[in-house]
Amino acid sequence: MLIFSVRRRGLLAYLVLYSRLQGVFDQSWKRQVNMENEYRKAELVNLGDALAYQERSVISRALLKNSGGTITLFAFDQGEGLSEHKAPFDAFVNVIEGEADITLAGETHRLSGGDTIVLPANVPHAVDAVSRFKMLLVMIKAPKADA
């Protein structure tokens, strides 16, 4: 388990760079091959403003989606959450604003704006909004190599 703080500006710069790499050129270098995702052009996204809260709801917006993984922004109203579940891949969660309890394998961690936690594959986890909060979920669909 890894918990650390991420500077928002650094993460935003990474997202802008990643969005610029969405279209890749095939081997002929003659035609552009677009990856499947919501944004087709480089676009600056303010994560705090990109998604509005909705009363008694959890809403999400896919920022990037392709065969290699997803980057999804979530907005949780206070008291809402995601029940315990497992994912087949590691997940990287960055809290953009607000406060949340993330339970990982039965241990609860309180995260607030700027905090990050890595959720290992196949480990039960749940999310509960202590206050209204937004989080960025990065899931890379690459299986771990056996050590």
Tens-binned pLDDT, residue by residue, of the chain (147 aa): 333 334 444 444 444 333 433 333 333 223 333 334 444 567 788 999 999 999 999 999 999 998 889 999 999 999 999 999 999 999 999 999 999 999 999 999 999 999 999 999 999 999 999 999 999 999 988 765 655
> Domain ranges in the chain?
2-140
Q: How far apart are CA 76 and CA 72, in angstroms?
A: 13
Q: Domain 2-140 is classified in which CATH homologous superfamily?
A: Jelly Rolls (2.60.120.10)
Residues 127, 91: contact at Cβ < 8 Å?
no
Is 127 exposed, middle or buried, given 0-12, 13-18 or 19+ CB atoms closer than 10 A? buried
